[in-house]
Amino acid sequence: MASIASAPHLPSIGSHARQEAGNQLQATLVELADLALIGKQLHWSVVGALFRPLHLQLDELVDAWRDLSDTVAERAVAIGFWPDGQSSAITAASGLRQLERGPLQDHAVVRELTTRLAEIAERVRERIDRLGELDIGSQDVLIEVVRALEEQLWMIRAQLSTDRGS
Ligand SMILES: [Fe+2]
């Protein structure tokens, strides 16, 4: 199935740039979708004194990642690239380390979360550079993503410092 649309009235960027920008958006989409799945898993797995704030915060984060993934996917469609956010696409391309099943202490949850968030924020940052030459609209979307992820990272990291004294 073709990933590039051929309808009229597409943004005036070449088909190569369209495909390349779409690839960058697609890669981000599957990572955000995977992050939302992992966030839910952590929401169910957290135990310890910080259960309640983390349990609640994780649902807020999952909502934010789902919203961001929607924005990313819809930018792809807007430039004529068909995104794929299905489980098979996530499994094939996300590359995020999966969690062990079972209880996870609150401080371990914070660590698992910050590791993955930092990894994705770094990958998105690299894509922002590449998108500057391809499509500034898509670049703007990924700037929004990285800004949100880095803000979340700061807020979660702040908890880690308080809890562990590091
Ligand atoms: Fe829940």
> Nearest to residue 8, comparing CAs of 80, 59, 66?
80
**What is the extent of the structural domain holding 143?**
15-164
Cα 41 to averaged position of ligand 1 atoms, centre (Å) = 10
Structure tokens at 24: 């960058």
Cα 96 to averaged position of ligand 1 atoms, centre (Å) = 22
Can you give the pLDDT at residue 8? Answer: 65
**Residue 147 included in any domain:** yes
**Residue 10 included in any domain:** no
What is the CATH number for 153? Answer: 1.20.1260.10
**Is the per-residue pLDDT at 163 higher than 60?**
no
**Residue 117 included in any domain:** yes
Split at pLDDT 50, 70, 90, the class of 161 is low
**Residue 109 included in any domain:** yes
Lowest mean pLDDT among 13-22, 78-87, 151-160: 151-160
Cα 149 to averaged position of ligand 1 atoms, centre (Å) = 21
Residues 6+ apart with CB under 8 A from 155: none
**Domain count of the fold of the chain:** 1
pTM: 0.90
**Is the per-residue pLDDT at 166 higher than 60?**
no
**Residue 78 included in any domain:** yes
